[in-house]
Amino acid sequence: MKIVARSILAALAVPLALLVSITVRVPLAYGQAAYVRWDLIELIGPAPGTIEAGGLASALANDNSAITLSGAGTFVAPAGGGGTSSAVTGGGNWETFDASGGSTGGGTYRVTGLVRWEEAPGTLAGTGGTDTIGSLTDTHAGLAVLRIEYSDGEPGVLVVSCRLPGAPASIFEGMTASKGFVDYWNRVAPVGFDGNRTLFHILR
């Protein structure tokens, strides 16, 4: 009986060790949270340019009224890449305009939560630019959806989208935002060095 029992235990030892190994390694490989900094940046020429914080980005509503934002902040994306998070910082300034370009309001906003973060292919590493915010090796393309609150009390959503070399053409560069019941869904695309640019730095 002892010999049979030992044989059974020996036979179970390898599969059990393999199961434990798989169970332990999967969270380490795929379950790490990501600490991310986002910025609306200013790109200063000549090419490849110098990246600086403090840029402006704009988006248009259905009637061509507009919102312009500055801003930066950080968030911690949950392990596995999905889900919401309240581990956020940051905000910036906002100003809205009517369709003819007249200012209709302004103030500050703050980020109150992360709705979704998706890292995408694409980085500025190896491009030769100058990054005054962080390291070019930490730059990544991606999409962040943030809950925000404006200084006049209205809630909103800020979508920051960054397209870098190596990213698919389906990704846009810039931002969109909502404010109350108005959705500024039509981002203003960057032209040359004129703003409307974003950047993520991922610090793992």
> Which residues, at least 6 apart from 7, have a Cβ–Cβ distance to it below 8 Å?
none
Domain coordinates in residue numbering, the chain: 1-30, 32-203
Q: Taking the mean position of all CA atoms in its chain, how far away is CA 187?
A: 16
pLDDT value, residue 82: 67
pLDDT tens digits, residue range 77-102?
988 766 799 999 999 999 999 999 99
Pair 93, 103: CB distance under 8 Å: no
> Which residues, at least 6 apart from 143, have a Cβ–Cβ distance to it below 8 Å?
116, 117, 118, 120, 159, 160, 161, 162, 171
Cis status, amide bond into 46, omega within 30 of 0: yes
- For residue 82, with 0-12 CB atoms within 10 Å meaning exposed, 13-18 middle and 19 or more buried, which class applies? exposed
Cis status, amide bond into 190, omega within 30 of 0: no
pTM of the model: 0.83
Nearest Cα to 115, choosing from 177, 180, 56? Answer: 177
**In the Cβ-directed half-sphere of 9, how many Cα atoms lie within 13 Å?**
6
pLDDT value, residue 166: 97
Each residue's pLDDT expressed in tens, for the chain with a length of 204 residues: 444 334 433 443 433 333 333 333 333 334 588 999 999 999 998 888 999 999 999 999 999 999 999 999 999 998 876 679 999 999 999 999 999 999 999 999 999 999 999 999 999 999 999 999 999 999 999 999 999 999 999 999 999 999 999 999 999 999 999 999 999 999 999 988 889 999 999 987
Nearest Cα to 140, choosing from 59, 76, 199, 64? Answer: 199
Query: What separation in angstroms does the CA of 97 have from each of 81, 84, 171, 190, 202?
Result: 35, 31, 26, 19, 33
Q: Return the structure tokens found at 80.
A: 């596995």
